[in-house]
Structure formats: structure tokens, C-alpha cells
Structure 1
Amino acid sequence: MIYEGKAITVQALEDGIVELKFDLQGESVNKFNRATMAEFQAAVEAIQGDSSIKGVVVTSGKDVFIVGADITEFVGTFQLPEEDLVAGNLEANKVFNAFEDLNVPTAVAINGMALGGGFEMCLACDYRVMSSAAKVGLPEVKLGIYPGFGGTVRLPRVIGVDNAIEWICAGGEQRADKALKAGAVDAVVEPAKLKDAAVATVKRAIAGELDFKAKRQPKLEKIKLNTIEQMMAFETSKGFIAGQAGPNYPAPLEAVKTIQKAANHGREKALEVEAAGFAKLAKTTVAQALVGLFLNDTELKRKAKHYDKQASDVNLSAVLGAGIMGGGIAYQSAVKGTPILMKDIREEGIQLGLDEASKLLGKRVAKGRMKPEQMAQALNAIRPTMSYGDFGNVDIVVEAVVENPKVKHAVLAEVEQHVKDDAIIASNTSTISITYLAQALKRPENFCGMHFF
């Protein structure tokens, strides 16, 4: 073992090739937290100090590659003075640079999700071999920031300015076929062949069949566009991005400006530009809000997963009040395969609800997300009714009648008499207190609010 830590190991494979493996102990995924970054530096130093090493293959011991930075650390880090943020960012990038500058060829085996800092790790490698089941991307703009581990520097030099702007500013995940077409990866193989393919690539580089230094060089230099080409690429993009993002989400536009500002510089100076812009964005209230939203959403999903294990099955649902809202709720249930009763006191309301559900299902068919026969099955799962006749078998009822407290009280009290004792009753109200509405019920412990987005 050349290096062994709690997040990273480096061990010999064959013919002078070593495997640098990310496998963060005690976690289901790999992420660049402070401990991992410290070990990454130590691992790179260990490789630098071993003259017998001829090549490096980077792998993951998880189902994903690396999902990015540890966002839980952002809350404290983003409270630091701006100059400290810049300094910390540049220190981290020294490690990525040291890895990129190793005097031996490097290849990464991207086995699963490689997002944010995980994809930036891939970009620091000479060659990128990707599993056909994997995805890559730089989603930082969704947190009000942009890539800070060299993503705005390396990606436009690897796949071109236009593609890089699209990837960074949209923040989406890219499938293997699209990544290969754009030039973000060098090969796509079946998952079972991934590691062997990465090792074979390094062997070819060691043998001189592939010139890894020439492959690396564009990432160290300025972007190869003349003044006119740069103006066309950046000015057009800035206008479009500004219109799409709007004034309240500055990160996408700032990312374009950063790439433009760093376009005529080599790697080190370009990274300084990136670090300065990253620190400014990290100090904005937008970044603070979006990071908080992400963390709260993650915590909610964690709790939901826990409660999901305790939850009873829902074999039949119901919605009270058809119309557009009721039709939308019926659609949500039916599209997931759960039959639903859609009750209203007027035939016109029922028809409006069925039309809304049909419209939403039709959009899925038009987008290729559903086959026509599946649409028919979903529509058949929506059973319109004007009575409570079948409500005795319902597991959950969603109330979506007019936004009037007296009406809702009456409807909730009425439906409770027709459902089984353990049925859940929910209200889709947007403005009325759930506690107040529960006063109409004999079993308020089975009552909750429920919203659909």
C-alpha cells in the first residue's frame, strides 16, 4: 500500500500503474470534505515521491464516483471573510494542479455520478473513461455559486466555450453519450469493462501510443479563440443567460463573465479569476438561501425515507373536489399506478377534472415519457363519482374544495364518516390553518396538509 487513509487509498496494480481509489469510510457516497481534501494532498505527495510509479488510474469504491463537495461545510465556510474564501479555494486548487502536473499519465474510471468537485477531479485527469451508466455535471449554479475546483477553467478548454457555458450555466447532468460527443470524456464502455479500459488507456500512454502531455497541454494554456471569436461566443451567451436566469440568480451570468475574464490566461491566473468570483458569489444572500434550501430538502428526504419504512400501503386514494386542482391531484395518483376516486357534487366539475388529467397525461405522451396505452391505463385508474359509496376502502383522501373554512369544515367532517378509522385525510389548502381545519374532525391525528408541485 503506497498510501492509506479513511477516504483515499493508493495501491499498486500492475506494470508500475497504481490505483488511487476514493472510498470515504462511513458514508454511502464519496465527497470532497475537508478530510478528503487533506488525504488527496497526501496521496498526491506519496505518488510524487515514488519514482517507480509509471501511471495512475483513479477509481471509486462506491456506486457513485464523487458527488461533489460536502455542502454541509458550506454554511460555516461561506461565513468566512471573502479574502479567506479566495485563499482557501486557491489552496485546494494547488492540490488539483499537483495531481494534474504528475509526470506520469493519469486516467479516471467514472463509474457513476461525478458531479461538481467530482467532475472537476475527472477534468484534472489526462484521460476520462466513462461507464455507459454514469452521469457527469457541474450543478453548482443551483446553489447560487459556480464551480470552484477549476471547472470554469478546464471545461471550456476541454469541450469548447459554447458547450462549457451550456453545461455550467444550466447545471444539468450529462449522460455518457452526450459527454462523449462533446469531448468531455475519451471513451464510454460497459460498466463491467470500465476499470480494465482505464488501465489499458494508461498502458497505451506509458508505451507512447498516446501522448498524455500533449493531451494535458490545452488545459494549461489560454483558450484558443481569437478576439472576434471570443466576443461572439461570450457576448451572445451573456445576453441569453441573463434573460433566462433573471436578476435574482446571478451565478450563471457570473460564470460566463469568469470564463471570459480568464480566457486569455494560463491555468494559474485563470484559477485566480475563478477563485475571486467564487468567493463573491459565496457571500451573496442568494447562495446562502439556496444552500439552506438544499440542506433542508436533503434532511426532509432523509426523514421521509425513515418514515417510508413505517408507512402503510396506499392501494386506493381519493380526492374531494374535481376541477383543475382535483384533476391534477388525480393525475398524480394515477400516473404512479394508484387508483383514485375523484368526487365532486357537480358533473361539470368532474368533467373539468377528467379533462385536466387527460391534458397532463397527453403532455407526457407528447414528450415521449409515456406510451398511449399507458395513458389509457392511467385514465382508467381515475374513477369519477358523486357519492361516498366506495370511500370505505380508501387509504387516503385529499380535500381540494373551495378555499372557504366553513365549506372545508363541513366537507372534512362529512368524509370522515365514510372512511375507515385508519384512513388519512389531507387538505390541499394554501391559506387556512391545518390546526384550525382539524377541529372539525373526530380523529385529528389522522389529518395533515398536503401540497402537489
Structure 2
Amino acid sequence: MIYQGQALQAKYLEEGIAELCFDLQGDSVNKFNRLTLQELGEATDALAAESGLKGVVVTSGKGVFIVGADITEFTELFKLPEDELREWVTGANQVFNRFEDLPVPTVVAINGIALGGGFEMCLACDYRVMSTSASVGLPEVKLGINPGFGGTVRLPRVIGCDNAMLWTATGDHKKPDVALKDGGVDAVVAPELVKEAAVDLLKQAISGNFNWQARRQEKLSPVKLNDIERMMAFTTGKALVAQQAGKNMPAPITAVKSMEANATLGRDEAIEVEIDHFIKLTKTPQADALIGLFLNDQEVNKVAKGVAKAGAEVKQAAVLGAGIMGGGIAYQSAFKGTPIIMKDIAQEGLDLGMKEAGKLLSKRVARGRMSPEKMAAILSSIEPTLHYQGFDRTDVVVEAVVENPKVKHSVLAETEKHIREDAVLASNTSTISITYLAEALQRPENFCGMHFFNPVHAMPLVEVIRGEKTSDATVARVVKYALQMGKTPIVVNDCPGFFVNRVLFPYFAGFNMLVRDGVDFRRIDKVMENFGMPMGPAYLMDVVGIDTCSHAAAVMAEGFPERMKHDFKGVSELMYEEKRFGQKNGLGFYKYEEDKKGKPRKTEDEIALALAQQSKQAELEVSDEDILARMMIPMCIETVRCLDEGIVQSPAEADMGLIMGIGFPVFRGGAIRYIHQMGVKAFCELADRHADLGELYKATESLTAMAENGESFFK
């Protein structure tokens, strides 16, 4: 044994050939935490001291190679003063450099995922052999940072500047075919052969069949481009990346600038440039939000999996109501492997549902992501019916009929008679109380809400709503089914609008008040899109359906009259009265016509502008900052109310719900993260300045107390 640690070990496989194996004790995966970095340095020193060493093969004792850095540790490091952070990052890079400088050839056997620091370890090796089941990449930009262990230095010298910019700026995981084609790896073999192939390549390098010294020298030297070639490559690359990433995501363009600045330098100086850019990004609000989002995502998934453990298996599902929503639910269930019965009262509905599922599958086939045979198998696992045959074998039935309490009561009560006593009924209602709907049932404990978002196949969130009598077993089974469908379930308690819609409608109320006060709805849309929302509030209402929004607003006003009932006729109400329902009938705040691809294209409409003028009661001068504040304060305060009332259980779930449910900008982290970054005290002061607008703008007692005590939602 050359070296034995808790995260890795080094030993001879045969004379002259050592194996450096990453195998972090007490964890299911390898990751670069402080312990692993420290031991990599110690193991490298031990290898360098071996007089008989001829070559090193790097392997993993896990099912993955190295998944990346341990973000939970590194977030604390990012809070250090810049000089202390620089000292730590420099020390980490020296470890990688010392390994790269070993006086013998090195080959890595990439048996599974190698991302971030894991792939940077691979790049520090002379050769890379990849399993057909592995994936590699530098996804740091998705955390708001750029690679910090030499990724922007070594990658362009290995695969060329153009490919390196694309790999790094997108942060995508690269499959073996792409990695081999671009030159990121030297060979791709079957999983069971990856170590054997790596050892064989190492022996050829030792014997002189491969010039490993020349290969290594390319990584230690400036990029092999002349001044004109380099200028053209980076000018084009920066323009493309800036256009794709947008102004609110600085990491992709910063990573490219790091490559550009270090391209003319040798490795050691180049890495200093990378460290400069890395440190700059760790201090941005985007990095704070995106890293927080990553940790929130892990927490939410951990909670969901914990709940699902107690859930009975879901082998057969059913959906009531075909149409677009029912068809989307049927597609998602079948696509992820759970067969489903799709029932409707009319053949036309079934035809529409099957057409929706078929359309989604056909797109995958057309893009080469699915075979026609696989498509046929999935479609055959959707069983359309006008009757209840087969419902006695269902484990979960999702009701997705029209959003009408009487209709839902009738359908649920009838369906309950045709299912097993232990089967679960779930309603896809977006607003109607689960406790109220349960009144129609003999077994209310077996009933809950399962709120999907439209379009089902694209929106990752599912709200699982617990009514007053819903059992834990019911919640557990529906959470398990949501996970089976590839969704992220968040368990919320029953109230008007549940969580996402309850928080969304104060945002819409802020919009209506702004238009009332004379602000052009097109300007509001632009401000919120510049903030990072996928679409402004007027456009969003058109997409959701103004009739749907009107119904939901009435439910919210009845449930929370002190905050959500207003004494003026808002512009959205005028649109509804004029039967301008949005994209569904081509007229809303905007006018819609189909483009060449059959997708609705919005254009301005004089009638909509006239209706906005009609709803105006004042002509206030407001800045873009005022517009943003008046839109965000109600949403943020209502999110806090939901936490206070236990509707949603944690800030992590609240923020993830908004990001996945309404497209809250990922680089802002969610409504709670928004308050956190502003500072609770500063947010309360902002709310106080707008308190004359009504109850929606008044900070909660809990927020006021947090402000007084200097508390925050996150560390």
C-alpha cells in the first residue's frame, strides 16, 4: 500500500503501475470535500516519492467517478474574505497541479458520472478512458460560478476553445459519443472493461507507443491559436454566450472571459486568472441564489422520498377526464412506466386525450429520442374508456374534470363506488378546497389533491394537498406516484389556492392596481421580464386563460376577503367581461395568431389598450423600481403567510414551489431568497413605504419580529 486514507487509497496493481482509487468512506458517492482534497495531496506526494513508479491509473470504488465538489462545505468557504478564499482555492489548485506534474504517465478510468471537480480531476490526467454508461462535464455555471480547479485552463487546451466555450457556458453533461467526438476523452468502452482499457492504455504510454510528455505539455502551454484566430474564436463565442445566457446570468460569460484571458499564458499563470474570475462570481447574488436553489432541491427531494417510503406501490393508475390536461397526465404516467386508464364521458374527449399523448411522443420520435416501437408500447399502456372497467385494479385515480365543485362532487362520489377500498382518489383541482370536495366521499381519508401544472409534461411541480381528513398513507402513496411520474411533489395543506396559486394571485392583484394607477400593462410586462420572469403578468394571464384567472380570483377573494377583495374593477375583469380569454380564443391583453410552426404569436391590440385606459383611475408617475416593488411585495408577503400558517413546510419548499410552479427566476432563488438577499429589515421598510396600497402590502408580524431581531431565513 502506497497510501491509505478515508477518501482514497493508492497501491500497486503490478510492478511499476499504481492505482489511485477514490472511495469516500461513509458516502454513496465520491465528491471533492476538504478531506478528499487533503488526501489527494497526500497521496500525490506519496506517489511522487515512489522510486519504482512507472505510471498511475485513477479509478473509483463507487458506481460513479466523482460527482463534483461538496457544495455544503464550499458555501461556507464562499463567505470568507476574498484573500482567505483565494488562499484556499490556490492551495486546492496546487494539489491538482502536483498530480498533473507526476513524472510518470497518468490515465483515468471514468466509470460513471464525472462532473465539476470530478471532471477537472480527469483533465489533470494525461489520458481519459470513459465507460459507455458515464457522463462528464463542467456544470458550475448552473451554480452561478465558473470552474475553479483548472477547468477553464485545461479544457480549451484539450478540446479546443470553441468546444470548451460551449461545454463550459452551457454546463451540460456530455455523453460518451459527444465526449469522444470533441476530444474530451480518448476512448469509450463497455463498463466492465473501463479499468482494463485504462491500464492497457497506460502500459502503451509507459512503453513509448504514446507520447504522453507531449500530450501533457499541451496542457501546460498557451492555447495553440495565433492572435487573429484567438480573437475571432472568443469574439464569436462571447457574443453567442451572452445572447444565450442573458444579462442576469454572469457565470457563462465570465467563464468564457476566463478562458480568453488565460489562453496566452502557461498553466500556473492561467490558473491564477481562473481563480480571479472564480472568486468574483462566488460573491454575486446569482451564485448565492443558485447554490441555495441546488441545496433546496436536494432538501425537497429528500423530504419527498422520505414521505414516499411509507407509500404503497402504484402499479396501475387512472385519470378521469381526457382533454388536454387528462391527456397530459396519461402521457406522463405511461411515459414514466406506470400504465394508466383514461376515462371520459365522450369519445371526442378520449380522442383529444390520446391525440395529446401521441403528439408528445411523436415529437420525441422525430427528434431521435425514442424509437417508434417504444412510442407504440407507451401508447398501448394508456387505456381509453367510456366506462369504469378496470378501475377495480387501480391504485390511484386522478380526477381532472372541469373546475366546478358540483361536477367534481358528482364524479368523485360515483368513481369511489368503482374502486377498491384501499385505492386513493386525488383531484387535480387548482383552487377548490380538498376538505370541501371530500364531503362527497365515503372514505375522505383516501382522498387528497394532486395539482399538476400546465403543460403537464413540461412543468416539474406537483402540489399534493392534504385535506382535514386525508391520511398519511394517502399522502405517501400520491407522493410516490408523483415521483414515479418524474415530478417533484411538495406536500401542502388545504386552503384557497393551496400554495402556488395563493401566492400568485396577490402578484396579479399588484398588476391590476398598477394598471388602475395609470401604468401601461406592456411596460409592467417588460419590467417583470427584465427581472427574469419567463413572461410578464399580462402575458401570463393570457397563457393561463383570463377566464381561469377570473374564477380563481373569485375563490381567493372569498377565502381571503380582507386582502384579496378589491373595491375597483380591474383590467383583467374588463377583459373577462369582453370575453377576451387569452390565447385560448386569440384575444386577451394581446392578440394571438399562429406562426409558421402553429404556435401562438402575440401582437399588440388596440381594444386591449382601450380597456386598460377604461380601467385607469389615476395617472401616477412610477419608476421601474416602483413597479417591481409593487409586484413583488404582495407575492413575498403571501409566501411568508403560507409559511406562518403551515400551508408549506419550509422556505426551501416555498422557493422551489415558485420556481417550478410559476417560473420564478432561478437566479433569484425564490420569494424567500429574494427577501433574504434584500435583508428582512430592508424588505419590511420597503413594504411600509407601500402600506397605503392595502393589506397585501403590510408585512406580517413574523417578518416584523425577524427584522427587529436581525434574523434571516437562511444562513
User: TM-score normalised to the size of structure 1?
Assistant: 0.91
Aligned position for 2:103:
103
Superposition pairs for residues 205-244 of structure 1, below 5 Å?
205-244=205-244
Cα offset, 1:211, TM superposition? 2.8
Aligned position for 2:16:
16
Q: Which has the larger displacement, 389-398 or 269-278?
A: 389-398
SS at match of 2:174: strand
Asked if structure 1 preserves the Cα contact closer than 8 Å seen for 2:141 and 2:170, the reply is: yes
Asked if structure 2 preserves the Cα contact closer than 8 Å seen for 1:434 and 1:449, the reply is: no
Task: Determine whether 1:449 maps to 2:450.
Answer: yes
Aligned position for 1:150:
150
SS at match of 2:25: coil
Q: How many residues align?
A: 453
Aligned position for 1:179:
179
Provide the rounded CA distance (Å) in 2 between the counterparts of 1:126 and 1:23.
Answer: 21
Structure 1 segments of 4+ aligned residues over 6 angstroms from their partners: none
Aligned position for 2:140:
140
Q: Which runs of 5+ in 2 are unaligned?
A: 460-715
Cα offset, 1:117, TM superposition? 0.8
Task: Determine whether 1:375 maps to 2:375.
Answer: yes
For residues 351-384 of structure 1, the C-alpha deviation after alignment (integer angstroms, 9 at most, x for no partner) is 3222211211221222233333443343343333
Aligned position for 1:325:
325
Superposition pairs for residues 294-333 of structure 1, below 5 Å?
294-306=294-306, 308-333=308-333
Q: 1:211 to 1:382 in 2, by over 3 A?
A: closer
Aligned position for 1:287:
287
SS at match of 1:248: coil
Cα offset, 1:82, TM superposition? 3.5
Q: 1:201 to 1:333 in 2, by over 3 A?
A: closer
Q: Which has the larger displacement, 205-214 or 178-187?
A: 205-214
Cα offset, 1:108, TM superposition? 1.4
Cα offset, 1:287, TM superposition? 2.3
Provide the rounded CA distance (Å) in 2 between the counterparts of 1:248 and 1:389.
Answer: 53
Asked if structure 2 preserves the Cα contact closer than 8 Å seen for 1:403 and 1:429, the reply is: yes
Asked if structure 2 preserves the Cα contact closer than 8 Å seen for 1:169 and 1:253, the reply is: yes
Structure 2 letter corresponding to 1:449: M
SS at match of 2:125: coil
Cα offset, 1:79, TM superposition? 2.6
Structure 2 letter corresponding to 1:96: F
Aligned position for 2:247:
247
Provide the rounded CA distance (Å) in 2 between the counterparts of 1:377 and 1:157.
Answer: 45
Structure 2 letter corresponding to 1:421: E
Cα offset, 1:259, TM superposition? 0.9
Provide the rounded CA distance (Å) in 2 between the counterparts of 1:19 and 1:77.
Answer: 31
Q: 1:207 to 1:375 in 2, by over 3 A?
A: closer
Superposition pairs for residues 38-57 of structure 1, below 5 Å?
38-57=38-57
Q: Which has the larger displacement, 336-345 or 141-150?
A: 336-345
Cα offset, 1:25, TM superposition? 0.9
Provide the rounded CA distance (Å) in 2 between the counterparts of 1:438 and 1:84.
Answer: 58
Provide the rounded CA distance (Å) in 2 between the counterparts of 1:313 and 1:422.
Answer: 12
Structural RMSD (CA): 2.5
Structure 1 letter corresponding to 2:212: F
For residues 386-409 of structure 1, the C-alpha deviation after alignment (integer angstroms, 9 at most, x for no partner) is 454653432111222334556545
Q: 1:386 to 1:187 in 2, by over 3 A?
A: closer
Aligned position for 2:484:
none
SS at match of 2:95: helix
Aligned position for 2:29:
29
Provide the rounded CA distance (Å) in 2 between the counterparts of 1:160 and 1:337.
Answer: 41
Q: 1:111 to 1:379 in 2, by over 3 A?
A: closer
Q: Which runs of 5+ in 1 are unaligned?
A: none
Aligned position for 2:338:
338
Asked if structure 2 preserves the Cα contact closer than 8 Å seen for 1:423 and 1:446, the reply is: no
Structure 2 letter corresponding to 1:443: P
Aligned position for 2:420:
420
Q: 1:6 to 1:416 in 2, by over 3 A?
A: same
SS at match of 1:173: coil
Q: 1:103 to 1:436 in 2, by over 3 A?
A: farther
Asked if structure 2 preserves the Cα contact closer than 8 Å seen for 1:141 and 1:168, the reply is: yes
Q: Which has the larger displacement, 379-388 or 55-64?
A: 379-388
Provide the rounded CA distance (Å) in 2 between the counterparts of 1:419 and 1:115.
Answer: 47
Provide the rounded CA distance (Å) in 1 between the counterparts of 2:412 and 2:406.
Answer: 10
Cα offset, 1:94, TM superposition? 0.8
Structure 2 letter corresponding to 1:53: L
Superposition pairs for residues 238-277 of structure 1, below 5 Å?
238-277=238-277
Q: 1:18 to 1:383 in 2, by over 3 A?
A: closer
Provide the rounded CA distance (Å) in 1 between the counterparts of 2:289 and 2:130.
Answer: 34
Structure 1 letter corresponding to 2:448: F
Provide the rounded CA distance (Å) in 2 between the counterparts of 1:189 and 1:370.
Answer: 23
Structure 2 letter corresponding to 1:363: K
Cα offset, 1:204, TM superposition? 3.3
Asked if structure 2 preserves the Cα contact closer than 8 Å seen for 1:33 and 1:73, the reply is: yes
Asked if structure 2 preserves the Cα contact closer than 8 Å seen for 1:57 and 1:202, the reply is: yes
Q: 1:433 to 1:293 in 2, by over 3 A?
A: farther
Higher relative contact order (CA 8 A, sep 6+): 1
Cα offset, 1:286, TM superposition? 2.4
Structure 2 letter corresponding to 1:122: C
Provide the rounded CA distance (Å) in 1 between the counterparts of 2:299 and 2:57.
Answer: 34
Asked if structure 1 preserves the Cα contact closer than 8 Å seen for 2:327 and 2:356, the reply is: yes
Aligned position for 1:88:
88
Cα offset, 1:164, TM superposition? 0.8
Structure 1 letter corresponding to 2:444: R
SS at match of 2:378: helix
Q: 1:192 to 1:318 in 2, by over 3 A?
A: closer
Q: Which has the larger displacement, 102-111 or 428-437?
A: 428-437
Q: Which has the larger displacement, 431-440 or 203-212?
A: 431-440
Provide the rounded CA distance (Å) in 1 between the counterparts of 2:262 and 2:409.
Answer: 62
Structure 2 letter corresponding to 1:228: I
Superposition pairs for residues 343-354 of structure 1, below 5 Å?
343-354=343-354
Provide the rounded CA distance (Å) in 2 between the counterparts of 1:359 and 1:370.
Answer: 13
Identity within the alignment, %:
62
Cα offset, 1:209, TM superposition? 3.5
User: TM-score normalised to the size of structure 2?
Assistant: 0.59
Q: 1:336 to 1:20 in 2, by over 3 A?
A: closer
Structure 1 letter corresponding to 2:79: Q
Q: 1:97 to 1:361 in 2, by over 3 A?
A: same
For residues 252-294 of structure 1, the C-alpha deviation after alignment (integer angstroms, 9 at most, x for no partner) is 2221111112112221222122112222222223222322332
Provide the rounded CA distance (Å) in 1 between the counterparts of 2:334 and 2:105.
Answer: 53
Provide the rounded CA distance (Å) in 2 between the counterparts of 1:373 and 1:52.
Answer: 56
Provide the rounded CA distance (Å) in 1 between the counterparts of 2:272 and 2:378.
Answer: 54
Q: Which has the larger displacement, 351-360 or 323-332?
A: 351-360
For residues 391-444 of structure 1, the C-alpha deviation after alignment (integer angstroms, 9 at most, x for no partner) is 343211122233455654554455444433222222334455656655655424
Provide the rounded CA distance (Å) in 2 between the counterparts of 1:12 and 1:372.
Answer: 50
Task: Determine whether 1:2 maps to 2:2.
Answer: yes
Cα offset, 1:47, TM superposition? 1.9
Provide the rounded CA distance (Å) in 2 between the counterparts of 1:224 and 1:432.
Answer: 64
Provide the rounded CA distance (Å) in 2 between the counterparts of 1:162 and 1:182.
Answer: 10
For residues 73-116 of structure 1, the C-alpha deviation after alignment (integer angstroms, 9 at most, x for no partner) is 23323332344333321111010011111222222122222111
Asked if structure 1 preserves the Cα contact closer than 8 Å seen for 2:350 and 2:384, the reply is: yes
SS at match of 2:232: helix
Q: 1:404 to 1:367 in 2, by over 3 A?
A: same
Provide the rounded CA distance (Å) in 1 between the counterparts of 2:22 and 2:107.
Answer: 14
Asked if structure 2 preserves the Cα contact closer than 8 Å seen for 1:422 and 1:446, the reply is: no
Task: Determine whether 1:396 maps to 2:404.
Answer: no
Provide the rounded CA distance (Å) in 2 between the counterparts of 1:248 and 1:431.
Answer: 33
Asked if structure 1 preserves the Cα contact closer than 8 Å seen for 2:428 and 2:449, the reply is: no
Cα offset, 1:119, TM superposition? 0.8
Q: Which has the larger displacement, 402-411 or 59-68?
A: 402-411
